[in-house]
Structure 1
Amino acid sequence: MAKENQIAFTRDENEETALHLLARSSLESCCQGMKRQVIFQLVKFLWQTFIFKSSSKNEIFEFIRNPSHLLFDAAKVGNFGFLSELINAYPSLILEMDSRDQTIIHVAVTNLHASIYSLIQEIGSQKDIIATMTDTEGNTLLHLAAKRAPESQLELVSGAALQMCLQLVWFKEVQKIMSPLKNSEERTASELFRREHAELRNDAESWMKSTAQNCMLISTVIATGVFAASITIPGGLDDKSGKPNYLKKPPFLVFAISDAVAFISSTAAILIFLSILVSRYAESDFYKSLPLKLIFGLLVALFSSITSMMVTFASAFFITYYYDSNRVPIFISAFAFLPILLFIVLQFSLWCDIMYSTFYCKNIFKPDKSILYVLLVEM
């Protein structure tokens, strides 16, 4: 072995090479920007220059399989960049199987790594081979999608209902390329999904009901408050005409409009959250129906009612206490918007999780660019 090749083949006390160590590193999340690109360039350099071009086929597979299979190590942690560098040079590696007769596509489905699973869209007719494969337990790709994902992956979104939605998205995505088959336990994938996710479905129902009840309580309080404000005219009434004293003033118009919007939006929120509470909570409801109701109830109706309520308070305070000095009323009215900012900040992560589970995660299976198709055709 030439001295320049030793950097790629040198093993540590655990018989691991540099590529084996890099395979288990979560390069997609732990490194950013230029640093990540440099590491991927190193992977490409080690693989293509020293291993792929200077070794026989048997030597290559001996290298990647010992002491552990670096392809599957990378697939388990979602190291897509690492795998793309290896598969670019040797596309047939995508059909490599582990001791359980599973490919990296199977591992990607088990661990919810969409970027790796998306490679199946680029391998042409060989996709049918993977789609019909069964592992040592008789499970197809769809059966693996029906199993409950590792907690580390489910915890990427908050709330059992959103986790259930994420699992359903994966199941339906894999279902597009699969035909219904039974595993060694004579269970279809749908039956397996129902059994594996029974506890999560119950947790999702409890989470959704608790969230809806709490939000409906807040909406009810807001509706009660703004309704009372609508019949308590700020600034009083004119003794002679009985009209509001500030009827023609801009702050009064702001008060009237915001109070009406707050009452209407809070009432709409109550109805939306009520519809969540009386839902049947079937598995399919968590795929689209319930998340959409939560979006409109929490992100639209409740947020609008809280914002309008604070505008109502600010305008009413300004009308009532605006006399000789306008500094204090203006300051208090501006400070009234602090709860709106707090609501946005405190609920931002939940909003992101809802949008991700409901909309964005349905598009994560579309690769940004092709890395395999041309190479596979050429082989």
Structure 2
Amino acid sequence: MNNEKSEANQMGVMEKKEALETFFSPFLEAAKLGICEIVNEILNVDFYAFTYRYKDNDHGLLHMAILHRQERIFKIVKERNVYLHTWKGVSKGRKTDNLLHLAGQLAASSQVSGAALQMQRELQWFKAVESYVHPSLQEQRNKNNKTLREVFTEEHKELVEQGEKWMKGTAASYSVVAALIITIVFTAAFAVPGDNNNDGIPNFLHDIAFIVFVISDVLALFSSTASVLMFLAILTSRYSEDDFLVSLPRKLIIGLIALFFSIASMMAAFGATLYTFLFHSWNWTIVPILLLGCFPVTLFAILQFPLLVEIFFSTYRPSIPTTPNE
């Protein structure tokens, strides 16, 4: 009986060694590159593959996912309940790079465009890992006696400066357009189509086109003013690290939406004015002019909508899991 148990144990050790020799390199390389299909298949064959580690730096599955920002691998670990607090480095007294220090290191990313969005992505990764690991890791210092926040600040100092420059340049460009729209629609409000009668009342006061003009002009003025205020808030922001997480992207989203709405309202006011002047004798010109009026609105939407969508989903629907129970 004892011989049978001994032989079974030897067979188990041999199988583990064979699995390690077979799956070690493909498993960790797939984790590094974000090939979740290979990682899943190997974990299905050998669940304890998550314990595989490189000898030189002691990095394993989670380390690869965090260091190379592979969110799909991170989700696999979360779904399989491989909790980060069970990993090496939970000792408070031990000065070594833990998972949070790895999350604090700057990683090159091609998943987002622009320094500001990359900084937002880095913060999302840091917050996700911070909320997921054992609390004892959050105060641990590394071999250079630096806390995780100090590592993050030092690594991302240049990226913060680049993100600030990108945000200010973008906000300044949009604010010029918004200020120009304010000037146009404010002037148009006092240049009433069709002039006024002797009592100072607009001649086309009760025409539908005139009502459309007034409403569109007012909406254009208010929305362009709101967009200028949003862009001004971006220009005068403190630009701390955490501002890139939600505050600055949210202001940019609101400013872009308000700017688009102001452009559309301005063109609607322009179309209503033309209709007021031309519908009696030149009504055949109304349709082509209105179509031309839609051209700048459509062009703005085509050029700026992808950026707006990217910022919106990156801010409000991040693909990185942020809580253990998510």
**Residue 319 (structure 1) shift:** 1.3
1:334 is matched with 291
Choose from 202, 206, 216 the match for 1:248.
206
User: AA paired with 1:94?
Assistant: F
1:145 is matched with 103
2:7 is matched with none
**Residue 195 (structure 1) shift:** 0.4
CA 1:131–1:347 in structure 2 vs 1: closer, same or farther (change >3 Å)?
Answer: farther
Report the RMSD for the aligned CA atoms in angstroms. Answer: 2.1
TM-score, structure 1 normalization: 0.75
Q: In the alignment, is the contact (CA less than 8 A) between 1:315 and 1:333 conserved in 2?
A: no
2:118 is matched with 163
Matches within 5 A, 1:184-223: 184-223=143-182
2:280 is matched with 323
TM-score, structure 2 normalization: 0.87
**Residue 354 (structure 1) shift:** 0.6
Deviations 1:207-253 (A, max 9, x none): 11111111111110000000011111112223x44322221111111
Tell me, in whole angstroms, the C-alpha distance in 1 between the residues paired with 2:248 and 2:81.
36
Tell me, in whole angstroms, the C-alpha distance in 2 between the residues paired with 1:249 and 1:88.
72
Question: How many residues matched?
Answer: 303
Deviations 1:87-120 (A, max 9, x none): 1232211121123211111111111111211233
| Runs of 4+ in structure 1 over 4 Å off | 123-126
Tell me, in whole angstroms, the C-alpha distance in 1 between the residues paired with 2:272 and 2:44.
63
**Residue 349 (structure 1) shift:** 2.2
Q: In the alignment, is the contact (CA less than 8 A) between 1:273 and 1:293 conserved in 2?
A: yes
Q: In the alignment, is the contact (CA less than 8 A) between 1:118 and 1:366 conserved in 2?
A: no
Tell me, in whole angstroms, the C-alpha distance in 2 between the residues paired with 1:71 and 1:91.
12
CA 1:160–1:93 in structure 2 vs 1: closer, same or farther (change >3 Å)?
Answer: same
Choose from 289, 306, 311 the match for 2:263.
306
Matches within 5 A, 1:1-379: 56-65=15-24, 69-99=25-55, 100-124=57-81, 126-130=83-87, 132=89, 138-150=96-108, 153=109, 155-176=110-131, 177-178=133-134, 179=137, 180-238=139-197, 240-298=198-256, 300-361=257-318, 363-365=319-321
Secondary structure in 1 aligned to 2:158? Answer: helix
CA 1:118–1:131 in structure 2 vs 1: closer, same or farther (change >3 Å)?
Answer: farther
Tell me, in whole angstroms, the C-alpha distance in 1 between the residues paired with 2:107 and 2:117.
13
Deviations 1:20-40 (A, max 9, x none): xxxxxxxxxxxxxxxxxxxxx
**Residue 366 (structure 1) shift:** 7.2
Secondary structure in 2 aligned to 1:56? Answer: helix
**Residue 123 (structure 1) shift:** 4.7
Q: In the alignment, is the contact (CA less than 8 A) between 2:34 and 2:70 conserved in 1?
A: yes
